[in-house]
A and B are shown apart, each in its own frame.
Chain A
Amino acid sequence: KAGVTQTPRYLIKTRGQQVTLSCSPISGHRSVSWYQQTPGQGLQFLFEYFSETQRNKGNFPGRFSGRQFSNSRSEMNVSTLELGDSALYLCASSPPGIRETEAFFGQGTRLTVV
């Protein structure tokens, strides 16, 4: 079974630009969550999508947004990039109806803002 796939693996963007990251969950998984990992703040929850609806949201500004498609693939978008948005962005998927299961993480997208 293929794991969680995140594309691209690496990105370099300029301040003020916007960026879109993609996540393909494990087949059959309908919940997709996004996390930001930085050396200073650690791993922070961005948002979770389930069946194309945002189910949970973390404490990030409105520049961070996401969506989920009918095939459960998810994208997150960051507009008006700031230097502080440089981070590893991790996506995780979980199967439906099994609340006790663990989340499965992708390899991440390393975003560098210059």
Chain B
Amino acid sequence: AQSVAQPEDQVNVAEGNPLTVKCTYSVSGNPYLFWYVQYPNRGLQFLLKYITGDNLVKGSYGFEAEFNKSQTSFHLKKPSALVSDSALYFCAGRGSSNTGKLIFGQGTTLQVKP
């Protein structure tokens, strides 16, 4: 069965420090991987995606993610966290042949303290 896992329920960082939100995947074939962010009572906002090509993907709001095939990971990173980055982050994946069905991780709450 295909799955996406986010091993941390919550990540706490100080403003200005680098942040990492972890994600591992088990998706058949060539995986398509995504990161979304959710603010309270809102839908999901797209941050970035890995389809193919460079393992380091750059996205919105200064976020980036590194695809690591050998470790089946797709960790989200940002060099300098902002208080406004505090939100719920979801990693999602799907196989290349399955266009509509996204498999989500459990979500990680990022708390950035001033």
* Distance of A102 Cα from B96 Cα, bound (Å): 12
> Which of B11-19, B20-28, B42-50, B78-86 forms contacts with chain A?
B42-50
* Distance of A50 Cα from B101 Cα, bound (Å): 12
Q: Is the pair B46, A104 in contact by a Cβ cutoff of 8 Å?
A: yes
* Distance of A100 Cα from B44 Cα, bound (Å): 18
On chain B, the number of residues with a Cβ less than 8 Å from chain A's Cβ atoms is: 25
User: At the interface, yes or no: B99 with Cβ under 8 Å from chain A?
Assistant: yes
Give chain B residues whose Cβ lies under 8 Å from the Cβ of A102: 34, 46, 49
A-B contacts, 18 listed (Cβ < 8 Å): A31-B99, A31-B100, A42-B106, A43-B92, A43-B104, A44-B104, A45-B102, A55-B100, A56-B101, A92-B102, A99-B32, A99-B99, A100-B32, A102-B49, A103-B100, A103-B102, A105-B43, A105-B46
Q: Is the pair B46, A48 in contact by a Cβ cutoff of 8 Å?
A: no
Interface size class of A (residues with CB under 8 A): 20 to 34
Write the A87-114 contact mask toward B (1 if CB under 8 angstroms, else 0). Answer: 0001010100001101111111010000
**Interface class of chain B by DSSP:** loop
Write the A24-46 contact mask toward B (1 if CB under 8 angstroms, else 0). Answer: 00000001010100000011110
Output the residue of B36, B42, B45, B100 with the most chain A CB within 10 A. B100
Instruction: Beyond A45-B103, A99-B96, A100-B52, list 17 extra A-B contacts (CB 8 Å).
Output: A31-B100, A33-B101, A42-B107, A43-B90, A43-B107, A48-B101, A50-B100, A55-B99, A55-B100, A56-B100, A56-B101, A92-B102, A99-B32, A103-B46, A105-B46, A108-B41, A108-B42
